[in-house]
Amino acid sequence: MPLLPFNPCASTRLPRHTQSEIDIFDNDEWELFEQLLAERWRAQAEFGLVSMARLGEIGALLVRACMLALAA
């Protein structure tokens, strides 16, 4: 497949980001969210929050890969 001779997104304007920091959860909100989650999903949700990994990246992880990273 040949490369496009032009950039199809050249006229696209990205939204302006002016906030210096975004707070998604404060501690109380996280505690409530964690309590509402089924026990099965709590570790995955906490890992996602701490690592800021995307859902597909978290789902693709193997337990042994996480254990190797912790051991290093």
**Taking the model in full, what pTM does it have?**
0.52
pLDDT at position 27? 87
pLDDT at position 72? 57
Q: Quick: pLDDT tens for 16-64.
A: 877 777 777 788 998 999 999 999 989 888 888 888 888 888 888 877 7
The DSSP code for 2 is P
The DSSP code for 10 is T
Instruction: Tell me: pLDDT of 12 over 60.
Output: yes
What's the sign of the alpha-carbon dihedral 16, 20, 24, 29? negative
The total number of residues written for the chain in this structure: 72
Q: How many helices (H) and strands (E) does the chain have?
A: 4, 0
pLDDT at position 60? 86
